[in-house]
Structure 1
Amino acid sequence: MVNLWAMQEEKHMERVTKMKEDVKDLICSEMPRVEKLEQIDAVQRLGLGYHFEEEIKNALRAITNGTTNRSWAFDGDLHATALRFRLLRQNGFTVEQGVFERFMTEDASGFQESLREDVKGLLSLYEASFYGFTGEAIMDEARTFSSACLENLKGDGVWSKRIDHALDMPVHWRPNRLEARWFMDMYEEDRLDRSNPVLLDLAKLDFNIVQSVYRDEVSKLARWWVNLGLNKMDFCRDRLMEHYLWNALMVYEPQFGVFREMSTKVTCMITLMDDVYDIFGTWEELQLLTTFIERWDISEIDKLPPTIRTCFLAMYNTTNEIGYWTVKDRGFNIIPYLHRLWVNQGKSWLEEAKWYHEGYKPSLKEYLNASVTSIGGHVVLFCSYFATSDKLSKETLEYLCSIPNVMYCSSLILRLTNDLSTSSAELARGDNFKSLQCYMNETGASEEATRHHLKRLVREAWKQMNEDALGHNPCSGSGSRRFLGACLNLARASQLFYQYGDGHGIPDRETKDNLRSILIQPVSIRVAATASS
């Protein structure tokens, strides 16, 4: 049986290698510009973009053809113009919002009414609008106009699934693995795209191969978690599978298993310690625990109560294990930087505990100053840099420890989406005020108005993060590309987990479905290989 499986795996890999060459030829081949854009979009939405990064960059570079972004456009073709805009920004090219001016009224007050029936163009405009930067008024108008038009076109024949999918969440906010799973079905079902059977077959095979990598990784992590014994502590949330999924969505490429292993362990420690501070420890115990985190010394650890001592030791040993790997594999001692971030975590957790024990109600600004750190995104994003980059330097790590804007915005989205979905449940279990209650208490605003305000903050954070991750960034370059992608993907995973409720604290049907899709259920593949076209 083992030998038969090995033979099947070898056969799959041979087939994949051949199809990858076919897809490379497809991307590099001569074809009309609109068709080339649609093929590139399909490659990326099917989850195959990481195989063809250079080919896609070169193809997009050729499409721009050396002309200015403002002057180069598809006259009168909203779909092509919007798709080009999205793909260029998505892949790090400079493109101005002015390419849409030709589709606006003469006084530039809005988009032309004649566009309301262009379903394909509206969908492309809607998806492009989420790649806007701070202060880009045309992109804001594009989002308002296209979303209103698409709402009126719901249920419109062959486009209904795509409209519903886009309005539920735009492609820019969706994690790549889940979008790939959905898009495979769409690509196979309809004939709206210029479908390529080789591309579809490769996407399915690749998805299943990556899924098998994930299953091996999560099995090893499950043994680690059980051996720690922390799954038996009844006060803390046992969410290993959810933590792994979160990190697999952040850095999904199969070659970065080291990141998923280390970051899943770190995420487990964040949730564990968050529960210690929120619902388990007394005020005096939490002050002592914070002192131990600051000192990073276990010589007098018996001063901590037994359960908290076990939790701190788990965090301490996990951090040192990560540090050992980094020294051994990268020749760089990462522990001082991780320790600094853990100290920031401890201080923010203690600040929130102080508010609770004193009955203090912070303003939204006070709350976010602590809670954007306490939710743990900074530590996880820091891991995404040193675990995926082969060029570590003191200067870059110092820069990351200062929490640049791109890290802050990603963590802010995590914090706000969490609060918008979990506030009631967490207050009921004895947790602190969240951003919703802080703003309502501070301003007297209704819950509906507060939710509107917080969602606006999420949108503004996305705009700033777009500019930092997709435009010019001090941390840009080949060594930081995965890190910047992880910043975007942390926000995407956050919105996925909290879209319909607390998909992390109380895993809902959607979270379980996502776990099955990404980690358990393979994609159905035809037995016979499709001949390449």
Structure 2
Amino acid sequence: MMEEVIRRSANYGASIWDDDYVQSLATPYTGEKYVGEAEKLKDLVRILIRETKEELDQLHLIDNVTRLGLSGHFKDQIAKMLDKIYEAQEWLEKDLHFTSLKFRLLRQHGYHVPQEVFCSLMDEEGSFKAILFEDVRGLVSLYEASYLSMEGESLMDLAKDFSLNHLTRRLDQITEPRLKEQVRHALEVPLHWRLQRLEAKWFIQVYENTFEANLTLVELAKLDYNMVQATYQQELKRLSSWYKETALPEKLGFVRHRLAESFLWALGSVPEPHLGYSREILSKMTVIVTIIDDIYDVYGTLEELELFTHTIERWDINSLDSLPEYMKISFLALFNSVNEFAYHILIGQGFNVISNLRNLWAELCRAYYLEATWFHSGYVPTTDEYLYTAWISVAGPLLLFCGYFTTNPINMKEMKSLEQYPGIIRWPSTVLRLADDLGTSSDEMKRGDVPKSIQCYMKETGCSEEDARKHIKQLIDMALKRMNKEILMENPIKNFGQTAMNVGRISLCVYQHGDGFGLPHSETKKNLMSLVVQPIPMP
């Protein structure tokens, strides 16, 4: 008689986004009528850009257009404006807000501006002048600028500490409600690392109520947000139908079914409306990554996992018979999705990426298997040993490659360089892993899962959980600074840099308030409702 396998369960909750609900979503913001309205408004904004001559006004306009989520429509005009501003190199050196805003916008667009532009705001001892802490608006601008720093920029570290300390101290004393809300918002997450579409919705409402608001910009921003939302909604409906047709939710009841949350990942990584195919692929791959992650983390026995890993390495449907049924279903779902994706790339671009995708999946599953052996043997690796595997086991490289294949024309030289896992792959994956660890660690400690970076560091150093969390936050800060340098400033692959930066942003967003992926009922649900379901009211 066969021995029954005792399997662990993570007791994941069911998805709150069932297919019936997703298919019931509706929006009026589709069709030619709105396209025509938007085009008229864009023409008016182009005139506004042309007629804005003063440098500070230009900087404010660029900042507002970007934060309203409209910069994609005016890329050329913004680039031209910034080129002129950069070439002029005129700095109002005594003005904290102007210097900080200019520094941030230029660096955001990849211009090399030295940290020394802030020297004129410092005293002889090398500290920021005490008088500056009275300028709350300037402090917010300095705080936001400090997150564009790179490793080794001690002046920018000073800027961050100075602005953070004074803003935190002043927050309760600010009497002007709008300014107080802006300071609170900035201190929660800096602008540079926020999710652009969520920021747009928040900023539209804030900007609209300021005395300098341009009503054409406000109207276009609302209309554009709602039209892009209509696009996202249609994409989620198609994905939901696909997922239902795979029968994975009913056949694999033990895993997290997180289609809408996977779509949020994709949307956060690749928000541009015209990149719908990229969002489709990233959503599908994230769904399958989640299923396979749960097989390795929770459900499979070590013997089954060894067989499964070999099957994926060989990419061999002939060895399916040796696997239990739940693994047969999972492998075939993976095999079919990857092959279909590779076929699409071959037809569209003439590149055969099947071996790249196979290698990425094999590497991911080897990392999963190694972590499973650690868990089953009770082994706790050192922090370095853990991280050596964990930035791969979080599926960062796999998803980033899928992003590269679907957002710009594939180039053999670029592909070869990406295979070496340079900073553009490594640092966003590291941020994803460490943000995930900070968000999920408490639940997983209770459940007795694979040790994460926090537990590894606690065992290695004997420190408290609080100190370990501080250390992991420092590692995230370091990785973000490296992203600024190696992706934003060096811009190794032109159209792919923004996607790589966005992977860092969506990681910070999803795990900001805990496990926003495994337990997606609060902030994640709110974010999805905001991005996909609830339009901005228009007159």
Q: Would the TM-score normalized by the shorter structure come out above 0.5?
A: yes
Give the corresponding residue for 2:485.
467
Q: Kindly tell me: are residues 356 and 7 of structure 1, through their superposed partners in 2, closer, same or farther at Cα, counting changes over 3 Å?
A: closer
Whether the aligned pair in 2 keeps the contact of 1:326 and 1:334 (CA below 8 Å) is yes
Give the corresponding residue for 1:291.
310
Match of 1:184 among 201, 204, 213: 204
Match of 1:303 among 322, 334, 337: 322
Whether the aligned pair in 2 keeps the contact of 1:279 and 1:430 (CA below 8 Å) is no
Q: In 2, distance between residues paired with 1:120 and 1:300? A: 64
> Do structure 1's residue 521 and structure 2's residue 534 form an aligned pair?
yes
> Do structure 1's residue 152 and structure 2's residue 169 form an aligned pair?
yes
* Residue identity opposite 1:113 in structure 2: A
> Do structure 1's residue 268 and structure 2's residue 281 form an aligned pair?
no
Q: Give the alignment's TM-score, normalised by structure 1.
A: 0.93
Gaps of 5+ in 1: 527-533
Q: Kindly tell me: are residues 403 and 44 of structure 1, through their superposed partners in 2, closer, same or farther at Cα, counting changes over 3 Å?
A: same
Match of 1:234 among 243, 248, 253: 253
> Do structure 1's residue 59 and structure 2's residue 77 form an aligned pair?
no
Give the corresponding residue for 2:9.
none
Whether the aligned pair in 2 keeps the contact of 1:154 and 1:160 (CA below 8 Å) is yes
| Structure 2 residue matching 1:432: 3-state secondary structure | coil
Deviations 1:251-277 (A, max 9, x none): 111100000001100101111100000
* Residue identity opposite 1:350 in structure 2: Y
> Do structure 1's residue 74 and structure 2's residue 92 form an aligned pair?
yes
* Residue identity opposite 2:183 in structure 1: I
> Do structure 1's residue 248 and structure 2's residue 267 form an aligned pair?
yes
* Residue identity opposite 1:132 in structure 2: S
Match of 1:383 among 388, 392, 402: 402
* Residue identity opposite 1:276 in structure 2: I
Gaps of 5+ in 2: 1-26
Give the corresponding residue for 1:100.
118
Match of 1:353 among 361, 372, 392: 372
Q: Offset of 1:230 from its aligned partner? A: 1.2
Give the corresponding residue for 1:413.
431
| Structure 2 residue matching 1:433: 3-state secondary structure | coil
> Do structure 1's residue 498 and structure 2's residue 507 form an aligned pair?
no
Give the corresponding residue for 1:531.
none
| Structure 2 residue matching 1:73: 3-state secondary structure | coil
Q: In 1, distance between residues paired with 2:183 and 2:201? A: 17
RMSD over equivalenced CA pairs, Å: 1.4
Give the corresponding residue for 1:124.
141
Q: In 2, distance between residues paired with 1:23 and 1:467? A: 32
Whether the aligned pair in 2 keeps the contact of 1:45 and 1:183 (CA below 8 Å) is yes
* Residue identity opposite 1:56 in structure 2: I
Q: Which moved more, 1:299-308 or 1:18-27?
A: 18-27
* Residue identity opposite 1:179 in structure 2: E
Deviations 1:79-128 (A, max 9, x none): 011000000011111111110011111131x2110000101100000000
Whether the aligned pair in 1 keeps the contact of 2:278 and 2:407 (CA below 8 Å) is yes
| Structure 2 residue matching 1:445: 3-state secondary structure | coil
Give the corresponding residue for 2:72.
50
Deviations 1:127-169 (A, max 9, x none): 0000001110111111000011101121411410000000000
* Residue identity opposite 1:494 in structure 2: S
Whether the aligned pair in 2 keeps the contact of 1:323 and 1:335 (CA below 8 Å) is yes
Whether the aligned pair in 1 keeps the contact of 2:423 and 2:487 (CA below 8 Å) is no
Give the corresponding residue for 1:335.
354
> Do structure 1's residue 175 and structure 2's residue 192 form an aligned pair?
no
Whether the aligned pair in 1 keeps the contact of 2:29 and 2:226 (CA below 8 Å) is no
Q: In 2, distance between residues paired with 1:290 and 1:462? A: 32
Q: Offset of 1:47 from its aligned partner? A: 0.5
Whether the aligned pair in 2 keeps the contact of 1:373 and 1:411 (CA below 8 Å) is yes
Q: Offset of 1:7 from its aligned partner? A: 11
Deviations 1:174-194 (A, max 9, x none): 010000000000001223xx3
Whether the aligned pair in 2 keeps the contact of 1:184 and 1:204 (CA below 8 Å) is yes
* Residue correspondence of structure 1 range 75-90 to structure 2 within 5 A: 75-90=93-108
Whether the aligned pair in 1 keeps the contact of 2:67 and 2:199 (CA below 8 Å) is yes
Q: In 1, distance between residues paired with 2:444 and 2:508? A: 18
Give the corresponding residue for 1:508.
521
Deviations 1:295-339 (A, max 9, x none): 111112111111011111111111001001101111111111111
Q: Offset of 1:27 from its aligned partner? A: 2.0
Q: Offset of 1:398 from its aligned partner? A: 2.1
Whether the aligned pair in 1 keeps the contact of 2:171 and 2:184 (CA below 8 Å) is yes
Q: In 2, distance between residues paired with 1:274 and 1:30? A: 52
Q: Give the alignment's TM-score, normalised by structure 2.
A: 0.92
User: Between Structure 1 and Structure 2, how many residues are aligned?
Assistant: 509
Identity value in percent: 42
Q: In 1, distance between residues paired with 2:512 and 2:28? A: 40
Give the corresponding residue for 2:153.
136
Q: Kindly tell me: are residues 406 and 190 of structure 1, through their superposed partners in 2, closer, same or farther at Cα, counting changes over 3 Å?
A: same
Q: In 2, distance between residues paired with 1:359 and 1:254? A: 46
* Residue correspondence of structure 1 range 184-203 to structure 2 within 5 A: 184-191=204-211, 194-203=212-221
Match of 2:243 among 198, 222, 225: 225
Q: Offset of 1:219 from its aligned partner? A: 0.4
Give the corresponding residue for 2:338.
319
| Structure 1 residue matching 2:317: 3-state secondary structure | coil
